[in-house]
Amino acid sequence: MDDALVNRVANSGIKTINLEKIIPEGEMMSWDIKQALFMEMVLKEKDFRALVKDFNWQQFQNANVAIFSSVDAIIPTWAFMLISSKLTGIARSVYFGTPEAMANELWARQVEKEDWKQYEGERVVIKGCGDVHVSPSAYMKITEKLMPIAQSIMYGEPCSTVPVYKKPKG
């Protein structure tokens, strides 16, 4: 009487990728330029320069910083350049755009720099639902990277997956 439990997931040969293990380095922070606008609408050059000069940029030490405006205002390009000049040498990186756009870019870069060749011909599940928020762009980028090499791509957990891609036969 051999009633031993068999772990079919462990024996399936499915390789799991956990994107939380390649999280982008550095804290993600942002600076909304609206705080430097008069009535959150107009950039007054003299006031803007004074604020930028006196602002404590050190709080962004080694962080990835998104510079954006959450209000609909006309902001001259040189204003973003001035902010960037204050952050260069302090921040890990500086981005023009929303914090979400920066996160998408950082995650996509992380996926891009990994070597995925080890998954050639493999059945792969991209782990979902973890402790760290992973940008959907990372999932999209890894799908793009794995499609030419993996046998199949799934999303979720090995015991409960959603099929994403299966290499055509032939």
Task: Parse the chain into domains and list their residue ranges.
Answer: 15-23+115-166, 28-91
3-state secondary structure of 26: coil
Cβ–Cβ under 8 Å, residues 127 and 133: no
Length of the chain equals 170
Q: Is the pTM of this model over 0.85?
A: no
Please report, as a single letter, which amino acid is at residue 124: V
Residue 3 has what pLDDT?
Answer: 62
Number of other residues whose CB lies within 10 A of the CB of residue 15: 14
Give the per-residue pLDDT at 133. 84
Positions in the chain short of pLDDT 50: 5-11
pLDDT per residue as tens digits for the range 7-42 = 444 446 799 999 988 888 999 999 999 988 988 888
Confidence (pLDDT) at 158: 79
Give 156's contacts (C-beta < 8 A, 6+ positions apart): 125, 127, 128, 129, 162
pLDDT at 7: 43
pLDDT in tens, 57-67: 999 999 999 99
pLDDT of residue 131: 82
